[in-house]
Amino acid sequence: MVEAYQLFIDGAWRPSSTGETLPAINPFNQEVWATIPSAGEADVEAAVAAARRAYETSWRQTTGLQRATLLNRLADLIEAEAPRLGLLETTDNGKVIRETGPQMVYAARVFRYFAGYADKLYGSVIPLDQRGMMDLALREPYGVIAAITAWNSPIALMSNKVPAALAAGNCVVIKPSEHASVTTLEFCKLVEKAGFPPGVINVVTGDARVGKALVGSPGVDKVSFTGSPQVGREIAAQAGRNLRPVTLELGGKSPNIVFADADIDRAVVGALAGIFGATGQTCVAGSRLLVQRPVYDQMVERLAERAKQIVLGDPRDAATEMGTAANEPQFKRILDFIESAKTEGARLVAGGGAAREGALANGFFVQPTIFADVRNDMRVAQEEIFGPVLSIIPFDDEAEAVALGNASTYGLAAGVWTRDITRAMRMIHAMRTGVVWVNTYRVVAAQAPFGGVKDSGFGRERGEHGLMEFTTTKNVMIDFSDEARDPFAIKT
């Protein structure tokens, strides 16, 4: 049975003004299992106007305690619905249920984290040169936030933005990817149950035209985007024409660096999880594995052996270890990169193509693929694949590891595996990335700020730094003296 979803605007469900819909396709069997509305510009403007009204008439008047109460209530609902939401997201984008279910619980944790900040948006008192005066720096919301998310983890990515924006006192218009919109729309049912005022949270769905209309709306005060650098550039340019600030969480080509003194058992697990978790469809995928030569052959052999044992299957089955590519365009893109690596001369040691046998026949499955003896200038080592393809690159010493690791246009994350604490500290400071993991990989926390540098974007999500992204500073000067004064005169 195909479920037909509607837009969520101003606290109500409504059909798209265009009357058009898009199919939600299960990447495991290519069956259409739901339809989502394709919004028009009129729908986008209605959502932005609803958010503006809610901000001006109700949400900005709420206390931090009131916002925290609603956010905590919503977190409870998300956690209670985690199994169902996880199943829906797995059906929508092919990520294994063993990941999507816990991601929903984690999303609830992030909502609770920012709920705790809602009544703690402290300003500061600034000492001045003039006597008899006080200066206050206040933190205030922007107003209306456009939150645009990607298809690989819709609820997790949404939770990086929305609870922080709401806790700070903003209202939001969310635009999920047209390839995975269902769970974001299902989330709105929980928003209704939680009792949020109409217009505080709105969702418009559709393709890139909807995102463009949202970013270009003069009623939007800030844009927060997760996606590719190519689209990020377009969004930054479009927002810049309206003089609107943006936060961009973009792609990566992250180096996962294994030194000879590392705990090899742990490094093997970290390397596998770093690239084959989420079918490699994550911005922090450790897609470049840099291995010091004394342990290079051992790492290649062990990784290739384990990759061949990874269980592919129905992502809704808890026994499945790796799911599908999320959609057909991404499936074809991954296969194109694999063929390119073969042409460039990389040595294939595992996988190398589509997986079509048996129950996998109708799905967008790619074999867990590993290339050894990769040069860092190869396309497979420089461009983001967003799939289960690992490039293993040898290095001799620490200086070469740093040079290779930083030789990328991206700068999102890096991993360092070593027992030498002094080396670890040197590597932490040397890597030009927004995140560095030491003796672990792909671990997240609500409290820990996340974001990149270079082509991986700018701004931060999660943690206190992520909260501040949704506030602006207002300065207040108070003269409590009983004399008229020259504002430029300083009395000592």
421 and 408 assigned to the same domain: yes
My answer on whether 213 and 352 are in the same domain is no
Give dist(CA 8, CA 26) in Å, integer.
23
CA separation, residue 16 to residues 52, 148, 210, 219 (Å): 20, 18, 11, 20
Can you give the pLDDT at residue 135?
97
Which residues, 6 or more positions from 119, have their beta carbon under 8 angstroms from its beta carbon?
63, 64, 65, 67, 68
- The separation between the first and the last C-alpha atoms of the chain, rounded to the nearest angstrom, is 78
165 and 18 in a common domain = yes
- The alpha carbon of 104 is separated from its chain's Cα centroid by a whole number of angstroms, namely 14
Answer yes or no: are the C-beta atoms of 268 and 230 closer than 8 Å.
no
The sign one gets for the Cα dihedral 176, 179, 180, 186 is: positive
CA-CA-CA-CA torsion sign (144, 150, 156, 160):
negative
Tokens 């059909």 label which residue?
15
Which of 81, 89, 186, 283 is catalytic? The answer is 283
Instruction: Answer for the pair 97, 317: CB distance below 8 angstroms, yes or no.
Output: yes
Residue 131 belongs to a domain with what CATH number? Answer: 3.40.605.10
**Residue 488 pLDDT more than 90?**
no
At 491, the pLDDT band (50, 70, 90 cuts) reads low
Q: Say if CB 55 and CB 170 are below 8 A apart.
A: yes
Paired sense of beta strands 389-395 and 410-411, if any: unpaired
161-192 pLDDT per residue, tens: 999 999 999 999 999 999 999 999 999 999 99
What pLDDT, on the 0 to 100 scale, is given for residue 82? 98
- Stated as kind and residue range, the H or E segment containing 3 is strand 3-4
CATH number for 272: 3.40.309.10
- The pLDDT score that the predictor gives to residue 492 is 52
Same-domain check for residues 242 and 263: no
Q: Does any domain span residue 261?
A: yes
* Residues 82 and 226 occupy one common structural domain: yes
Q: Give the confidence band of 1 by pLDDT, cuts at 50, 70, 90.
A: confident
Q: Do 296 and 402 fall into the same domain?
A: yes
Do 196 and 269 have their domain in common?
no
Same domain, 353 and 228: no
Bridge-based pairing state of the strands 3-4 and 255-258? unpaired
- Assess if residue 188 is contained within a domain: yes
> Quick check: is 143 in a domain?
yes
Residue 449: inside a domain, yes or no? Answer: no
Residue 480 belongs to a domain: no
Whether 487 shows a pLDDT value over 90: the answer reads no
Q: Of 81, 99, 178, 249, which residue is the catalytic one?
A: 249
* Average pLDDT of the residues in 33-54: 98
pLDDT for res 484:
81
Domain that holds residue 417: 255-438
* Shared domain check, 259 and 241: no
Digit-coded pLDDT (tens) for 232-253: 999 999 999 999 999 999 999 9
Q: Is the pLDDT of residue 490 over 90?
A: no
Confidence check: pLDDT of 299 > 60? yes
Q: Phi then psi for 286, rounded to 5 degrees?
A: -80, 70
- Provide the token pair at 490: 């300083």
Residue 450 lies in a domain: no
Q: Does the pLDDT at position 489 exceed 80?
A: no
The answer to whether residue 89 is catalytic is no
* Same domain assignment for residues 260 and 238: no
Would you state the pLDDT for residue 483? Answer: 83
- Cα dist from 310 to 28, 90, 224, 273, 277, whole Å: 17, 18, 35, 11, 11
| Residue matched to tokens 């209530």 | 73
- 13's tokens: 């469900």
CA–CA dist 203, 324 (Å, integer): 26
In the annotation, is 283 catalytic? yes
Assigned domain for 447 exists: no
Sort 406 into a burial class: Cβ within 10 Å, 0-12 / 13-18 / 19+. middle
Burial pattern 286-299, b for ≥16 Cβ within 10 A else e, equals bbbbbbbeebbeeb
DSSP bridge pairs for 367 = none
Based on the domain organization, do 226 and 198 belong to the same domain? yes
Q: How many Å apart are CA 194 and CA 108, to the nearest integer?
A: 13
pLDDT at 322: 98
Please indicate, yes or no, if residue 481 is contained in any of the structural domains: no
- What is the tally of structural domains in the chain? 2
Same domain as 270, residue 394? yes
143: left (phi over 0), alpha (psi -120 to 50) or beta: left
Reported in sequence order, the residue ranges of 38-106 that DSSP labels E, i.e. its strands, are none
**105-158 tens-digit pLDDT:** 999 999 999 999 999 999 999 999 988 999 999 999 999 999 999 999 999 999
